């Protein structure tokens, strides 16, 4: 039974969505990505009516599997864990699932809020030209100012990010993966936010020599270099 994965696509095949990246890694972790079991359907912001008709809401990722349509990356990860219990676990049990949920909420609230102002003014360049006006107007309505105003003072945002990620830096100085001895969904979620910035702006978030930079390189290399499979930030 094919699993259909609807994910955001950007300019010239770029994959700009952090929420889709974490599901791509989860599918790879389960050994499903690049198999006939999964069909990937790239989706533009302009495809919103089709996503709404399918799932009753406008956000991707969305999956169709086993007669169900599941949206929200956390719900999708839980579906994958429950639907493929014999494949490598994303959470490592119920305690791991609970702790990963907490980390997921922290990433989407605190980490994302620290990263977003660093990348948001650069970000339209990774989207399909026809999606850029929607992205700008919807985000400017959300922020109550222009993207450029929101993103002003990048050095201050980078300094704040260093404080926010200090516990992750300490963790990864002690153990190789966020989840411990081996990567799991906790790593996929954290990585997805750094990948969003890595592919979505000109700034380098992580200083060379840090434990986080070394971990991010290990994450990129997983699954035959999955993190480098799609084009990076467009060079002028
Ligand atoms: N809580 C959702 C968030 C997904 C999300 O924010 N997706 C964005 C970025 S790709 C989106 O589809 N936005 C549609 C829009 O802004 O119209 C998840 O974890 O999947």
Written as six digits, the tokens of 134 are: 């929607």
CA separation for the pair 178, 7 (Å, rounded): 25
CB of residue 59 inside a 6 A radius of ligand 1: yes
Per-residue pLDDT reduced to its tens digit, 63-100: 999 999 999 999 999 999 999 999 999 999 999 999 99
DSSP 108: I
List strand residue ranges (DSSP E) for 44-169, in order.
62-65, 68-71
Whether residue 113 contacts residue 119, with contact meaning beta carbons closer than 8 Å, is answered with: no
Tell whether the model's pLDDT for residue 47 goes beyond 90.
Answer: yes
Three-state secondary structure call for residue 18: helix
CB atoms within 10 A of CB 90: 26
User: Which residues are within 8 A (CB) of 67 and not within 5 positions of it... i.e. 6 or more apart?
Assistant: none
CB of residue 57 inside a 6 A radius of ligand 1: no
Domains, the chain, ordered by start = 3-83 (3.40.30.10), 94-225 (1.20.1050.10)
Place of tokens 């219990």: 85
Q: What is the pTM of this model?
A: 0.98
DSSP 180: B
- Centre of ligand 1 from the C-alpha of residue 52, in Å: 12
The percent of residues above 90 in pLDDT, for the chain, comes to: 98
CB of residue 138 inside a 6 A radius of ligand 1: yes
Per-residue pLDDT reduced to its tens digit, 6-40: 999 999 999 999 999 999 999 999 999 999 999 99
Per-residue pLDDT reduced to its tens digit, 145-184: 999 999 999 999 999 999 999 999 999 999 999 999 999 9
User: Which residues are within 8 A (CB) of 133 and not within 5 positions of it... i.e. 6 or more apart?
Assistant: none
CB of residue 17 inside a 6 A radius of ligand 1: yes
What is the arithmetic mean of pLDDT over 51-62?
A: 98
pLDDT level of residue 1 (50, 70, 90 thresholds): confident
CB of residue 72 inside a 6 A radius of ligand 1: yes
pLDDT level of residue 236 (50, 70, 90 thresholds): low
- Centre of ligand 1 from the C-alpha of residue 194, in Å: 16
pLDDT of 194 = 98
pLDDT of 235 = 72
Tell whether the model's pLDDT for residue 209 goes beyond 80.
Answer: yes
Per-residue pLDDT reduced to its tens digit, 91-138: 999 999 999 999 999 999 999 999 999 999 999 999 999 999 999 999
User: Which residues are within 8 A (CB) of 93 and not within 5 positions of it... i.e. 6 or more apart?
Assistant: none
CA separation for the pair 139, 143 (Å, rounded): 6
First-to-final CA distance of the chain? 43
CA-only gyration radius of the chain, Å:
17
For a pocket test of ligand 1, which of 24, 58, 60 has the largest count of ligand atoms closer than 8 A to its C-beta? Answer: 60
pLDDT of 234 = 87
Average pLDDT, the chain: 97
pLDDT level of residue 220 (50, 70, 90 thresholds): very high
CB of residue 61 inside a 6 A radius of ligand 1: yes
Q: Which helix (H) or strand (E) holds 3?
A: strand 3-8
């Amino acid at each position: 039974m094919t699993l259909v994965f609807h994910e955001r696509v950007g300019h010239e095949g770029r994959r700009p969505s952090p929420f889709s990246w974490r599901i791509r890694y989860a599918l790879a972790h389960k050994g499903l990505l690049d198999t006939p079991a999964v069909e990937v359907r790239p989706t533009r912001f302009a495809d919103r009516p089709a996503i709404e008709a399918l799932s009753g809401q406008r956000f991707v990722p969305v999956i169709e599997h086993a007669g169900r349509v599941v949206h929200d990356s956390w719900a999708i990860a839980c579906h994958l864990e429950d639907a493929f219990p014999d494949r490598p676990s994303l959470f490592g049990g119920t305690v791991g699932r609970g702790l990963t949920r907490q980390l997921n909420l922290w990433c989407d609230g605190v980490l994302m809020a620290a990263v977003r102002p660093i990348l948001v003014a650069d970000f339209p360049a990774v989207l399909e030209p026809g999606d850029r006006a929607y992205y700008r107007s919807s985000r400017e309505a959300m922020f109550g100012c222009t993207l450029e105003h929101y993103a002003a003072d990048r050095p201050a945002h980078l300094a704040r990010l260093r404080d926010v990620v200090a516990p992750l830096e300490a963790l990864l100085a002690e153990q190789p993966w966020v989840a411990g001895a081996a990567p799991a969904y906790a790593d996929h979620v954290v990585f997805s936010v750094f990948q969003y910035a890595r592919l979505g702006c000109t700034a380098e978030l992580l200083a060379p020599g840090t434990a986080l930079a070394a971990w991010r390189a290990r994450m990129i290399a997983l699954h035959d270099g999955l993190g480098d499979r799609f084009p990076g930030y467009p060079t002028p």
